[in-house]
A and B are shown apart, each in its own frame.
Chain A
Amino acid sequence: MLLIRCPWCGPRDETEFRCGGEAHIQRPPDPDAISDAEWADYLFMRRNPKGPHRERWVHAQGCRRWFNVLRSTVSHEILAVYRMGEREPET
């Protein structure tokens, strides 16, 4: 079980969190301006990298805040945790 450092609550067990999938996927500002394929890409297509992966997590059983996590999908090491709207820290 991962130990995740919530930016508000500190390190807590993974069971308190829920993963919201890949981070930094922006909702198209004008959905009508894009094709079905582009919309499908936004809706369904996600990266599945081997190595560092940027994910959204929410402290569902705690402060209920969303934040970003840079996690290695190989070692499960958490390389960085940063708040929504913050820039990904240099690693």
Chain B
Amino acid sequence: MSGERLPEGGRIDRSRPLRFTFDRIPYQGFAGDTLASALVANGIAVVARSFKYHRPRGIMGAGAEDPCGLVQLGEHGDTEPNLRATQVELYDGLVAHSINRWPSLEYDLGTLNDRFAPLFAAGFYYKTFIRPKFLWDRVWEPIIRRMAGMGHAPTAPDPDIYDHRHLHCDVVVIGGGPAGLAAAYAAGRTGARVILADEQPEFGGRLLDMPETLGERPALERVAEVVAELASMEEVRLLLRTTALGYYDHNEVVLVERRGDHFPPQERRGKVRQRMWHVRAGEVILATGAHERPLVFADNDRPGVMLASAAAAYAWRYGVLPGRKLVVLTNNDSAYRAAVVLAEAGAEIGAIVDVRAGSDGYWAQEAQRRGIPMLGGRAVVGLHGLGRVEGVEVRGLDASGVNATGARHRIECECLAVSGGFNPAVHLFCQSQGRLRFDDAIAAFVPDRAAQRQFSVGAAAGRFALADALADGAAAGAAAARTAGFGDGSAPAMPGAERRSETPLRPIWLLPGERQVGDGKAKHFVDFQNDVTAADIALAAREGFRSVEHVKRYTTTGMGTDQGKTSNVNALALLSRAVGRTIAETGTTTFRPPYVPVAFGALAGAQRDGLVDPVRVTPINSWHVTNGAVFEDVGQWKRARHYLRPGEDMERAVRRECLAVRDAVGIFDASTLGKIELRGPDAAEFLDRVYTNGFKSLGIGRCRYGLMCREDGMVFDDGVTTRLGETHYYMTTTTGGAARVLDWLEEWLQTEWTTLKVYCTSVTEDWATVTLSGPKAAQVLEALKPSFPAEPSSFPFMSVRAGRVADFPARVFRVSYTGELSYEINVPARDGRALWEAAMQVGRGIGITPYGTEAMHVLRAEKGFIVVGQETDGSVTPLDLGLEGLVSKRKDFLGRRSLRRSGMLEPQRKQLVGLLPMDPDTVLPEGAQLVRELKPKPPMAMVGHVTSSYYGARIGRSFALALVRGGRARVGETLHAPLPSGTIEAQVVAPNFYDAEGKRRDG
């Protein structure tokens, strides 16, 4: 192909030349060009190397259907792989690179793959490169991945902005060609809320690609009028450069609008580059048009072979001839029209080669009138030219269409324009679960039964005539609006479109060549993007594949970014023929979203960096930040893990904090604890049902630790619940479990125990919680001048006092998670930081020390207190934890019945135990597997695993909690933790390492 720019014509702005580079070589195009049209205009025949065989490929199509012309656009953070050159609007300074070639596009070493094609036949990855096995990981796979790569992902962060919008409308029209415009107009004029989306930079669809008249006037004049009228309608939204990616349940259509892609990167900075529209429509009108399909013949992928409609579009729309001399190969009348358009633009048409006997349709007569040679009953059986088309070899075709007959006949040309008919773009229709029907008249699948509230109109419904498209669109638009309650359903009058006579298409799925398919070097491409040939389909059929879905996966036809736009029907037809079925019987593969590739940035929208997930911080957070806290994530919360002093590492900081709590007093931010208020006359009954232990007997002002199970008997959450009044309870939950527990309570109240009178309210963020813990905790509280006696003798363990602390309204709970005397002081969130600072102030003289979650964990583990989610993993019952004392025998509760199932009573279940490593300085890794019998190497029978493991500063040694099979009966035994770094031995003990009698909680 040696394309060239015509001296005039086209919808480009010749007063606005644009510079761009392709593989670093500078070129020039014009405003209105796509990258593809500019490349063709500059005579560039080869724009890419093919996926598998690295064959040179040129531009074949003019829109979303082009399978080969994938390029890498931009550089650094802006770079984007695998964009279709046919859909990239040219801008000044555009930088494009070819992909999948090394070292260069012209001299690609990957072409060796073509030489060794038998190694890469269908399903090659099951057959070749298999032995020796070790070579696959280290040699073959890396090489194949490198060879088959399709561009490079950017390595720098995406510098652009993306967003998402949600829209509701009465009618959404996908496609702004004649049918879509008619539909939008018919619906819009009723006052209905209408969205019209088109992927191109201007409306008109196929009317942009070829000359056409409507009611005696140029069609594009009519288009401009309708678009202006639509733009003036208040409830109509027009979206250009907007592609429908997916059509989902309940008429949800997802669109991506490319708002900034046609500007140079520096000009689109700071503005939204792409916007994702989530549209929920009453009615969907699919006016998505049709894609021309190629014919399958020997070496039909050679650069210079182009779809006939695309060749005409380049000439008419972009003022570019894909070649000075062209041959047209067709099985239908549409290519005659393309030939006429190309001839009018100045191309020499060497011949129209028609696999039918010929045509007497309107466009054939027009072609004849222009003296274009027409060769009926013939086929192209071979191509001349190595890197690009230089001529075609033509022979006769017998009546069956299977054999070539008669003499060869060579015609010189630079471009072969091919038409095998049109496939309606049924992708969205199929995504919406609509059923297709094979239409023999056009030899393509058309929409049959819609699954949702939708219409397919015009070419998308296989109705290619312009008059039909307009009539379909107008009728559907009016009907859709009426369903939504607008208008009377009557379609507006459409301008007259000429009906032109046609000779029917002749489906021939494989043209005969010099040799049989699979014999010799020639390849007959079916899927150009994935390098699948007619021989591959035949091979799959020979190997027993029958289901079209299996053949797709085995041969990879219809995959990739292309999703079978040009290849689907050809592949199905060849498979059907090979297995002796009709195409209708074979059926089609599933079309999946997205219709065209979509940038990750567009999918993510604004949900990136800090906006991916909410970050929750406590009211005291700012103090932690400025006082050396190192944070850890607990659910969405940021919690201070430990506080570093100069020269400290985490280990030393945690030991210091632990000793401060054991020996003096520590201060801890427990604000993240889940807090739920329950009110109502049935609150006590409700608590009795959700907790394993009893709550009805709890006196006012008293606290009780409770355990919750799921109905299957597994521990679900734990926490302390306090009775604040006759019918008023205050529940605390684990930090990570707060939302889960509230959901759980609501679920039971709303769906099962609907007669219980209880309200649950989350108050987690209403309170700041400051915990004072240690033998001197009471001194600190006293110094904060509480409005009630704080000493342990008059403020008993597991009770609450309401009043004032440091002059803030407060509730103080005497509960302890460290084993030391503790007060959990709750004040309104706004007072949290002031209380904290007041406590630091008064505690300074007695060594008050802030401690973080790590020290808290060490201290609680020394006491054998569990953490739900650490000691439990959804398969642990209260009995496994040794907490049978908390399991009531006098009442029913969620999960109780499950605890009696035989499997729950099995003595060899994993049970919570303590572990003391033989070496008191060695800390077992959490998660380490434990074995009784040590073997030189795995497998070894595992009897349990470590759940918590620390160095206990006050007890002066390492210790751990573990779940061990039948563990309680193994106290005294030695277990082994075999690790890559060596085996650690540990003795099984009771899970309590400090103050087993519990004397310290009262100070």
Binding site for B on A (CB under 8 A): 1-3, 13, 20, 26-28, 31-32, 34, 36, 39-40, 43, 56, 58, 60, 64-66, 75-76, 78, 84-85
Q: With A60-B743, A76-B250 in contact, do A36 and B901 touch (Cβ < 8 Å)?
A: yes
Indicate if B451 sits at the interface (CB-CB under 8 A). yes
Q: How far is the CA of A78 from the CA of B901 in the complex (A)?
A: 38
Residues of B in contact, count (CB < 8 Å): 26
Question: Contact: A31 with B751, CB < 8 Å?
Answer: no
Question: Contact: B897 with A66, CB < 8 Å?
Answer: no
Question: Contact: A76 with B249, CB < 8 Å?
Answer: yes
Question: Contact: B751 with A3, CB < 8 Å?
Answer: no
B 873-912 to A, binary, CB cutoff 8 A, 1 in contact else 0? 0000000000000000000100011101110000000000
CB contacts under 8 Å to A, within B196-249, are 248-249
Question: Contact: A40 with B752, CB < 8 Å?
Answer: no
Select one of A3, A20, A58 contacting B280, CB under 8 A. Answer: A3
Question: Contact: B746 with A64, CB < 8 Å?
Answer: yes
What would be 5 A-B contacts, judged by CB atoms less than 8 Å apart? A2-B249, A34-B897, A43-B898, A64-B746, A66-B746
Question: Contact: B250 with A20, CB < 8 Å?
Answer: no
Q: How far is the CA of A89 from the CA of B598 in the complex (A)?
A: 42
Q: How far is the CA of A66 from the CA of B249 in the complex (A)?
A: 22
Indicate if B252 sits at the interface (CB-CB under 8 A). yes
Q: How far is the CA of A84 from the CA of B898 in the complex (A)?
A: 26
Select one of A13, A36, A66, A76 contacting B747, CB under 8 A. Answer: A66
Question: Contact: A3 with B252, CB < 8 Å?
Answer: yes
Question: Contact: A66 with B252, CB < 8 Å?
Answer: no
Chain A residue with Cβ nearest B280:
A3
B544 to chain A, nearest CB (A): 30
Q: How far is the CA of A18 from the CA of B433 in the complex (A)?
A: 24
Question: Contact: A31 with B901, CB < 8 Å?
Answer: no
Chain A residue with Cβ nearest B751:
A66
Chain B residue with Cβ nearest A11:
B280
Additional A-B contacts beyond A31-B892, A84-B750 (11; CB < 8 A): A3-B280, A13-B278, A20-B751, A27-B711, A27-B752, A36-B900, A39-B897, A43-B898, A56-B751, A58-B746, A78-B250
Q: With A58-B747, A84-B751, A85-B754 in contact, do A43 and B250 touch (Cβ < 8 Å)?
A: no
Q: B residues within 8 A CB of A66? A: 746-747, 750-751
B 733-751 to A, binary, CB cutoff 8 A, 1 in contact else 0? 0000000000100110011
Q: How far is the CA of A2 from the CA of B896 in the complex (A)?
A: 37
Q: A residues within 8 A CB of B711? A: 27, 43
Q: B residues within 8 A CB of A3? A: 249-252, 280
Q: How far is the CA of A24 from the CA of B492 in the complex (A)?
A: 51
Q: A residues within 8 A CB of B754? A: 84-85
Indicate if B831 sits at the interface (CB-CB under 8 A). no
Indicate if B261 sits at the interface (CB-CB under 8 A). no
Question: Contact: B901 with A32, CB < 8 Å?
Answer: no
Question: Contact: B898 with A39, CB < 8 Å?
Answer: yes
Q: B residues within 8 A CB of A84? A: 750-751, 754
Q: A residues within 8 A CB of B747? A: 20, 58, 66
Select one of B252, B278, B752, B896 contacting A31, CB under 8 A. Answer: B896
Question: Contact: B712 with A43, CB < 8 Å?
Answer: yes
Q: B residues within 8 A CB of A58? A: 743, 746-747, 750
B125 to chain A, nearest CB (A): 35
Q: With A1-B250, A1-B252, A2-B250 in contact, do A65 and B897 touch (Cβ < 8 Å)?
A: no
Question: Contact: B746 with A39, CB < 8 Å?
Answer: no
Q: B residues within 8 A CB of A34? A: 897
Chain A residue with Cβ nearest B254:
A1
CB contacts under 8 Å to A, within B263-280, are 278, 280
Question: Contact: A1 with B901, CB < 8 Å?
Answer: no
A19 to chain B, nearest CB (A): 12
Q: A residues within 8 A CB of B278? A: 13
B677 to chain A, nearest CB (A): 15
Q: A residues within 8 A CB of B250? A: 1-3, 76, 78
Question: Contact: A75 with B451, CB < 8 Å?
Answer: yes
Question: Contact: A31 with B746, CB < 8 Å?
Answer: no
Q: How far is the CA of A66 from the CA of B745 in the complex (A)?
A: 12
A11 to chain B, nearest CB (A): 8
Q: A residues within 8 A CB of B712? A: 43
Chain B residue with Cβ nearest A18:
B743
Question: Contact: B897 with A1, CB < 8 Å?
Answer: no
Question: Contact: B897 with A40, CB < 8 Å?
Answer: no
What 9 A-B pairs have minimum CB-CB distances, sorted nearest first?
Answer: A31-B897, A3-B250, A66-B750, A76-B249, A66-B751, A1-B252, A36-B901, A2-B249, A39-B897
Q: B residues within 8 A CB of A2? A: 249-250
Chain A residue with Cβ nearest B451:
A75
Chain A residue with Cβ nearest B897:
A31
Q: How far is the CA of A2 from the CA of B166 in the complex (A)?
A: 14
Q: B residues within 8 A CB of A13? A: 166, 278, 280
Q: How far is the CA of A60 from the CA of B743 in the complex (A)?
A: 8
B995 to chain A, nearest CB (A): 39
A66 to chain B, nearest CB (A): 4
Q: How far is the CA of A64 from the CA of B251 in the complex (A)?
A: 25
A90 to chain B, nearest CB (A): 22
Select one of A20, A26, A32, A75 contacting B897, CB under 8 A. Answer: A32
Q: B residues within 8 A CB of A65? A: 750
A9 to chain B, nearest CB (A): 15
Chain B residue with Cβ nearest A37:
B901
Select one of A1, A32, A75 contacting B248, CB under 8 A. Answer: A1
Q: How far is the CA of A60 from the CA of B739 in the complex (A)?
A: 11
Chain A residue with Cβ nearest B903:
A36
Q: B residues within 8 A CB of A20? A: 747, 751
B763 to chain A, nearest CB (A): 15
Q: A residues within 8 A CB of B280? A: 3, 13
A7 to chain B, nearest CB (A): 12
Q: A residues within 8 A CB of B751? A: 20, 56, 66, 84
Select one of B251, B433, B898 contacting A75, CB under 8 A. Answer: B433
B897 to chain A, nearest CB (A): 4
Q: A residues within 8 A CB of B251? A: 3
Q: How far is the CA of A43 from the CA of B574 in the complex (A)?
A: 52
A86 to chain B, nearest CB (A): 11
A50 to chain B, nearest CB (A): 14
Question: Contact: B249 with A1, CB < 8 Å?
Answer: yes
CB contacts under 8 Å to A, within B708-733, are 711-712
Q: B residues within 8 A CB of A78? A: 250
Q: How far is the CA of A60 from the CA of B752 in the complex (A)?
A: 18
Q: B residues within 8 A CB of A60? A: 743
Chain A residue with Cβ nearest B893:
A31
Q: A residues within 8 A CB of B746? A: 58, 64, 66
CB contacts under 8 Å to A, within B11-65, are none
Q: A residues within 8 A CB of B896? A: 31
Chain A residue with Cβ nearest B742:
A64
Q: How far is the CA of A1 from the CA of B432 in the complex (A)?
A: 11
A26 to chain B, nearest CB (A): 8
Chain A residue with Cβ nearest B712:
A43
Q: How far is the CA of A58 from the CA of B366 in the complex (A)?
A: 66
Q: A residues within 8 A CB of B897? A: 28, 31-32, 34, 39
Q: How far is the CA of A31 from the CA of B754 in the complex (A)?
A: 19
Q: B residues within 8 A CB of A28? A: 897
Q: How far is the CA of A64 from the CA of B750 in the complex (A)?
A: 10
Chain B residue with Cβ nearest A64:
B746
Q: A residues within 8 A CB of B752? A: 26-27
Q: A residues within 8 A CB of B901? A: 36, 39-40
Chain A residue with Cβ nearest B760:
A64
CB contacts under 8 Å to A, within B680-731, are 711-712
Q: How far is the CA of A84 from the CA of B754 in the complex (A)?
A: 9
Q: B residues within 8 A CB of A27? A: 711, 752
Chain B residue with Cβ nearest A78:
B250
Q: B residues within 8 A CB of A1? A: 248-250, 252
Chain A residue with Cβ nearest B168:
A11
A48 to chain B, nearest CB (A): 19
B738 to chain A, nearest CB (A): 14
B630 to chain A, nearest CB (A): 33
Chain B residue with Cβ nearest A3:
B250
